[in-house]
Amino acid sequence: MTSAKTATPSDTAAGQKVVVIGAGIVGANVGLALLDKGYDVTILDRGEPGMGASFGNAGGIAVSECAPVAMPGVLKNVPGWLMDPLGPLSVRWGYLPKMMPWLLMFLASSKKQRVEQIATNMATLLNRAWDDYDPVLKEAGLTDAVFKKHGAMAVYRSNASRQAAEYAIDLRRRNGIKLRDLTRDEVRDIEPDLAPIFACGVMEEDWGHVLDPFKITTGIFKHFLDRGGKFETADVTNFVFRDGKPRAATTDAGDMITFDHVVVACGAWSKTLAKRLGSPVPLDTERGYNTTVPYHDAKLSRMIVCADDSFVLSPLEMGIRVGGAVELGGLLAAPNYERAKALFAKGKEVLPKLNAEGGTEWMGFRPSMPDSTPVISKSPHHANAYFAFGHGHLGLTLGATTGRLVADLMATGKTPVDMTPYRINRFSRFYSI
């Protein structure tokens, strides 16, 4: 492991053409970081830049979220997930057979020793997030007017529920996360519009949020274009190989787009393309729901994490967003917006002045790995292929860090952190390759 210096154009990168597949927050940051190294970069996407999970997420820069979703004891929750279609995490019965391998790996990741390791691996990335974003935001002209760093407040309905979360809180503290306990009165002083139903809280000091996730993504993407990057609308379906290496991407329209290097960064749709490159991966999708309502009477100064009910309230530019429910159901099933309505009802219980008038519902696909750890990796099979996906709830948070690491991997192979925990083939024992 070698520390990388500040990015400078590389002589070896000059004239080298890179195709990045995916124009979300991760793909935009990867493309921009590769431009800094001197590569000729084209981003491809089937749709408009930033219109996937980057469009409707909660807007959190969640640098304190190093604990994985699969925590010790999670197995006892599985029956409830299967029985409650409107619960905080549910599994569609029809998708269960396809989901079963992922769920088994998810449960394997919940063993305490593995959880401790995952949290350390994730903290290594998350503790870099602000430093990696700062130059990107400055160069792109995205100022404090759209990017806030003033913490998030987790709230608990009882001291017992706070005590039940002690292991996860202690785990984060041991990994360098700044957390401050709050009394009932402190919770009320910080957010007086919250219902008086919370016994205590925890301030997550270094958390931040953006006022419009879509504007952040498109702002970085515009900077990428202004710097000389290119974009093409293309639905990539496969690759053309020459001399054992991928040399072109083929599209559903029959076009062929050549490259020297390729980066797969298309979120929940990355699984098929990774397999085409010889790397099957247990990527699936968390179908996340939310409702965004214009400002009426309710006010919030920062993001609120409702720990007992597993949802968040985000004060954004366009209004307050109530979101966080997760449904495991794949990419094809129609949305179940009853989940968004159930979430909003809980949000109104927490923030009574919420008004549904003028609200909009949304569902998006979070690309999720069973160990809550993204794939940031060079291909184990092809020297010119790279992967950047599987960030789950942390795509916005880790966009700039992922871009920096992929660019370092491609340019020199030397990165400021050990990349072993994020390799694409860490689950290879589950596959016959």
Tell me the per-residue pLDDT of 317-367, one tens digit each, with 9 for 90 and over. 999 999 987 788 899 889 999 989 999 999 999 999 999 999 999 999 999
State which of 7-11, 49-53, 221-225 shows the largest mean pLDDT.
Answer: 221-225
Q: What are the structure tokens assigned to 153, written together?
A: 């407040």
How many angstroms separate the CA atoms of 173 and 167, rounded? 10
pLDDT of residue 427: 93
Is residue 35 within 8 Å of residue 224, measured between CB atoms?
yes
In this predicted structure, which of 104-118, 289-303, 326-340 has the lowest mean pLDDT? 326-340
Is residue 237 within 8 Å of residue 270, measured between CB atoms?
no
Give the rounded percent of residues in the chain with a pLDDT score beyond 70: 94
Distance of CA 341 to the CA centre of its chain: 23
In this predicted structure, which of 107-116, 131-140, 162-171, 424-433 has the lowest mean pLDDT? 424-433
Show Cβ contacts of residue 241 under 8 Å, excluding neighbours closer than 6 positions.
247
Name the pLDDT band for 148 (thresholds 50, 70, 90): confident
pLDDT of residue 85: 67
Average pLDDT, the chain: 92
Does position 1 have pLDDT exceeding 50, yes or no? no
Mean pLDDT, residues 169-198 taken together: 97
The C-alpha angle 399, 132, 201, rounded to 5 degrees, equals 75
Tell me how far apart the terminal alpha carbons of the chain are, to the nearest angstrom.
28
pLDDT of residue 266: 97
pLDDT of residue 77: 77
Could you tell me the domains of the chain?
A: 1-72+110-145+209-280+369-433 (3.50.50.60)
Does position 289 have pLDDT exceeding 60, yes or no? yes
Q: Which amino acid is at 131?
A: D
pLDDT of residue 302: 95
How many angstroms separate the CA atoms of 121 and 105, rounded? 18
How many angstroms separate the CA atoms of 171 and 230, rounded? 42
Mean pLDDT, residues 193-215 taken together: 95
pLDDT digits (tens, 9 = 90+) for 376-385: 999 999 999 9
pLDDT of residue 2: 35
